[in-house]
Every structure is written in C-alpha cells, then in structure tokens.
Chain A
C-alpha cells in the first residue's frame, strides 16, 4: 500500500525567505509524485509532478521538488517566499503502473509574514 507523510502541519516563513515543505512517501512500486496547492474554498491546483527521468522537477510559481529514491522523499522548495504563496500544500502519490487514484498527505499550511 502507498502512503504519504508530510512533516509539519504548519510552516511559517518571512517574505523573501526560503520555503521548504517536507514530504516522505511509502511505495512498493515506482511512484508518481505530485505537489498541489489549495486556496480557501478552492479546488487543488497542480504545482509540479515527478513521473520518470530528471529527479529535479520545476513547477509553477517558482517552486521545485527533488525526487530522492534513497530517502523516499519529495520535498518542495522555493528560494524566496511571496505573500501570495500562503496556502495549503498537499503532497500526493500514485502507483505508476496500475493507474490508481492519488493518495494525499494531510497537508501543510504555509504562512508568509511581511
């Protein structure tokens, strides 16, 4: 069975500071990994995804994530936080071969202060 653990339910940074949101996964098969962002009372917007190939993945709004198989991690980073980055972030995993549904972590709330 697959699972996702997001370390830290709440992360606070200052505007301009580095953003680091942690995600570890468990999967017995090669995973596809995703990061989504959610604003209040909205659906989920895809930030980036890893399927195969290059392990450093760049997404929208300046975010990127690195797939580290040895550490079973897929942490999300952004060099400089902006006030508009304040939102809920979800890491998700799916079984690449079986085409299963996404399994989500519990989410991390990012707060950005000026």
Chain B
C-alpha cells in the first residue's frame, strides 16, 4: 500500500535555530497538507497545496514558518527561528480526491 513519507521522524533543536521537515506524498496526489498537532490536541491545518500552489495558509505563522512545493510533488516545511512553543508533531497528508486523505507517520519536534 502506498504511503506518505516524512523525515525525520524525530528532531530535537535548540530555540532560535532553523529546522526543516520533508514530505513525499503518494504518487499522483495533487493535494498536500501540513498539520501541526500539539500533545493532547487534534491536528490543526498549517498549509494546503494544490499541485505547487498554496490554497490555504491562513493558519501558518508566516513570520517564522514557510512551506514550499516547488515541482508539485514533495514539500518542505521550515521554521526559523524555532521557539519552545513549536514543540509538536508535524503531520503531512496527501489526497487525490475529496474523500481520501492519507497521513504520514509525522515528525516529532522538540525545541529545547
């Protein structure tokens, strides 16, 4: 079964440092999502891509977060500088149509 690949699985970084996460969606899935999940809460959408275009980034803290999907395939989410409150699970998902969303295993970020 096809999977959404994410790396790294775990990341520890010091506050004020830069950190980046990578996601490779299922082949043929035009829509890609980045979610942030704080411990004990549900995932919250950060950014949605349709191919290489941003569809929704209204909840992305643009002063420190950036996301790109240059060729409409894989995507990178960056935080610079990282803050203690950014500690969370970062989940990537992809979909081909409106009723099928597949999630990756996530990146657990700890900021110290």
Partners in one complex: yes
Stretch from B71-79, B80-88, B101-109 contacting the other chain: B101-109
Q: Within residues 30 to 44 of chain B, which ones have a CB less than 8 A from any CB in chain A?
A: 31, 33, 40-44
Chain A: how many interface residues by the 8 Å CB criterion?
A: 25
CB distance from B71 to the nearest CB of A (A): 21
CB distance from A25 to the nearest CB of B (A): 13
Which residues of chain A have C-beta atoms less than 8 A from B14's C-beta? none
Task: Give the most central of A49, A92, A104: most B CB within 10 Å.
Answer: A104
Stretch from A63-71, A73-81, A93-101 contacting the other chain: A93-101
> Is there an interface contact between A104 and B99, defined as CB atoms closer than 8 Å?
no
Which residues of chain B have C-beta atoms less than 8 A from A90's C-beta? 42-43
CB distance from A81 to the nearest CB of B (A): 22
> Is there an interface contact between A51 and B41, defined as CB atoms closer than 8 Å?
no
> Is there an interface contact between B108 and A41, defined as CB atoms closer than 8 Å?
yes
Chain B: how many interface residues by the 8 Å CB criterion?
A: 24
Which residues of chain A have C-beta atoms less than 8 A from B106's C-beta? 41-43
Q: Given contacts A42-B105, A42-B106, is CB(A101)–CB(B48) below 8 Å?
A: yes
> Is there an interface contact between A32 and B105, defined as CB atoms closer than 8 Å?
no
Check if A106 is an interface residue, CB within 8 A of chain B. Answer: yes
**What are 16 pairs between A and B in contact, CB < 8 Å?**
A32-B99, A41-B106, A41-B108, A43-B91, A43-B103, A43-B104, A43-B106, A44-B93, A92-B42, A99-B98, A100-B56, A101-B48, A103-B45, A104-B42, A104-B44, A105-B42
Q: A90-B43, A106-B42 given. 7 additional CB < 8 A pairs?
A: A43-B4, A44-B103, A51-B99, A96-B99, A100-B56, A102-B101, A104-B42
